[in-house]
Amino acid sequence: MTSKSRSSLKSEYGNQRAYLARVAAKREKRICKITDVLKEAFSGYIRREIAEFIYFSEISGEELAKAFFQYPEVLKPVLSLCNVAARALERDLDIKNLNTYNPRLNEVNASILAGYIKPMLPERTAIESLVEIDRIFYIDKEIRKEKGAWEKDILLALNRHGKQQFRKRKFNWKGDMFELDAASPEDGKIKVGIDIKRVEARRDIHKRCDEIFTKAEKFKGVFPRASFGAVIYYPFVEEQQNIRDRLRSSNIDSVVFASEKETSITQAVKLLLGKVKWKK
C-alpha cells in the first residue's frame, strides 16, 4: 500500500478535530446551561475579581510552537483545554509514547503540535482555570498510577511465594493475542496463567467477569494441562461469592480476592498458589 493510499484510507477515520466539531453545538448549549445554573444556585456567594487571561487568539502558530519547545510543561494543560490526550496525538499525528506531563519535544514536534492545537484553542482562558484543569487531570493520573501499583504488588507477591517466577506473558489463540498479567514459567510452555483484575464499580463486574471467563477458555484451548487463576479487587465484599459462582468453570482453577493491604494480598496469593498445579 502506497503512502498516498494509507493517507487516503486514514482520512476515512475520525480525528479529534472532527469529534470536537460534531459536539460543538452540544458543548455550547451545555456551557450556557451550566453558567446559568451556577449563577442561580450560588447567587449569594459570587464575587467579581480580577483575573489574568491568556489570549490564545493573539498567539501565532510559531509563537505557540516556541512556547511548547521552551516550556514543555505547558503542553498538558493546553492539550486538556482542547480535550486532547496522548492517544489522540498518536492517532492523528503519529506521535508515539509522548509523556504529556513531562514531554521531551524537539522543534519539529513542537511545531507540529502547535499547528494541530491552534485551531482548537478558545479565544482566551484564565490562568487560574487552566491551572485548575491541569490539577484535575494530574490528580486523576496519579490515582490511576496508584491503582496500577496494586497489580504490580500482586505480581511481586506471586514471585515471593510461588515455586517458580511469574511475569507478564502473551499467548496466541487462533491468530488472536491475549495477555496474562502473570504467567509461569517466565519462558517456554506456560504452566500457570493468572488474570489480575481491579474492579471498583458494580456496573463493571459483568464485563470483567466475561473477560476473565473468555481469557480462561482461550488459555485452556492453547494449554489444556495448564492452570488458570484470577486475583480480583472488588470492594463489595458481600457480593464476592456471587462472582465466584459466576466464574465457576472447569477452565478456572482458582478465584481469590485481595484488598490493597499487604496481609490481604499475601493471603490471597497463597490461597491461589495452593490451588493451581504446575503440571508437566
Q: Say how far apart CA 217 and CA 221 lie, in whole Å.
A: 6
- Domain range for 185 is 146-274
In this predicted structure, what is the pLDDT of residue 2?
A: 59
The reported pLDDT for the residue numbered 176 is 92
Are 167 and 267 in the same domain?
yes
Residues 233 and 268 in one domain: yes
pLDDT for the residue 46: 84
Q: Please report the pLDDT score of residue 16 as a whole number.
A: 75
113 and 150, same domain (yes or no) = no
Classify residue 2: in a domain, yes or no: no
List, in sequence order, the alpha helices (H) in the chain: 3-10, 16-22, 24-41, 61-70, 75-81, 86-93, 107-117, 127-161, 205-222, 240-246, 262-275
Q: CA gyration radius for the chain?
A: 25
Query: Are 116 and 219 contained in the same domain?
Result: no
Among 108, 123, 138, residue at a domain's last position:
123
In a domain? residue 137: no
Q: What pLDDT is attached to residue 8?
A: 52
Q: Which three cell numbers stand for residue 192?
A: 500457570
Do 183 and 72 share a structural domain? no
Q: Does residue 205 lie in a domain region?
A: yes
| Cell matching residue 26 | 452540544
Residue 63 domain-assigned (yes or no): yes
CATH number for the domain including 231?
Answer: 3.40.1350
Q: Which helix (H) or strand (E) holds 222?
A: helix 205-222
What's the structural domain count of the chain? Answer: 2
pLDDT reported for residue 105: 92
Contact 256, 204 (CB under 8 A): no
In a domain, 130, yes or no: no
The pLDDT of residue 13 is 63
pTM of the predicted protein model: 0.72
Say if residue 61 is in the same domain as residue 159.
no
Question: Does residue 241 share a domain with residue 169?
Answer: yes
The answer to whether residue 136 sits within a structural domain is no
Instruction: Please give the Cα distance from 262 to 270 (Å, whole number).
Output: 12
pLDDT digit string (tens) for the chain, length 280 residues? 555 555 554 555 677 778 778 888 887 898 888 888 888 888 888 888 899 999 999 999 999 999 999 999 999 999 999 889 898 899 999 888 899 998 999 999 999 999 999 999 999 999 999 999 998 888 888 888 888 889 999 999 999 998 889 999 999 999 999 999 999 999 999 999 999 999 999 999 999 999 999 999 999 999 999 999 999 999 999 999 999 999 999 999 999 999 999 999 999 999 999 998 776 5
